[in-house]
Amino acid sequence: MSKKDEIFISVDVETAGPVVSEHSMLSIGACLVFQPEVSFSTMLKPISEKSIEEALAVTGLTLEKAERDGLTPTEAMRQFADWIVHNTPENSTPVFVGLNAPFDWGFVNYYFLKYFGSNPFGFSALDIKALFMGATGCTWHDTKSSSIDKVVNPRQKGNHDALDDARYQAELFRLIYRLCQN
């Protein structure tokens, strides 16, 4: 079996709460890690009326806005899958990259499986926090984005807009990846 090229894709989601099957994923932002201008963004219609006020407050989104302006989950996940396939050359593997990847991947995986039938990323994700911990030998406590920022000095900052955050995460990944190369 030959080794496939890996296409790192930074993904961020904004949700109505922390429970994958109960709270809605309201927006997805994604970009190629090494070409962040190649990006994807969409808002999704809610799958339930359940929400956590703090989760909505941090994003500025509302269930009403998502219902009005969002795509159905089926259409959103189809478009995202098409974008991933379009940006993953033949004989390459898309790699999901996230900051606290288990959270974001959990929502994306659930939505892909439920509304699209398969997950183009497969069953794994690369977590930037874990990469940073491995690259620096720091404690888990020191993997907060504010702590990472102090070490790698990114130009961008997170702001809870899914696409902006995906681009910020891509920059963090590139900077940490360079630390690993030294």
User: Annotated catalytic, 141?
Assistant: no
* Helix or strand (DSSP H, E) at 36: strand 35-43
DSSP string, 50-114: ---HHHHHHHT--HHHHHHHPBPHHHHHHHHHHHHHHTS-TTEEEEEEETTHHHHHHHHHHHHHH
CA distance 56 to 91: 39
**Contact in structure between 108 and 96 (CB atoms under 8 Å):** yes
**Contact in structure between 24 and 16 (CB atoms under 8 Å):** yes
CA distance 107 to 24: 9
**Contact in structure between 72 and 45 (CB atoms under 8 Å):** yes
Residues annotated as catalytic are 160
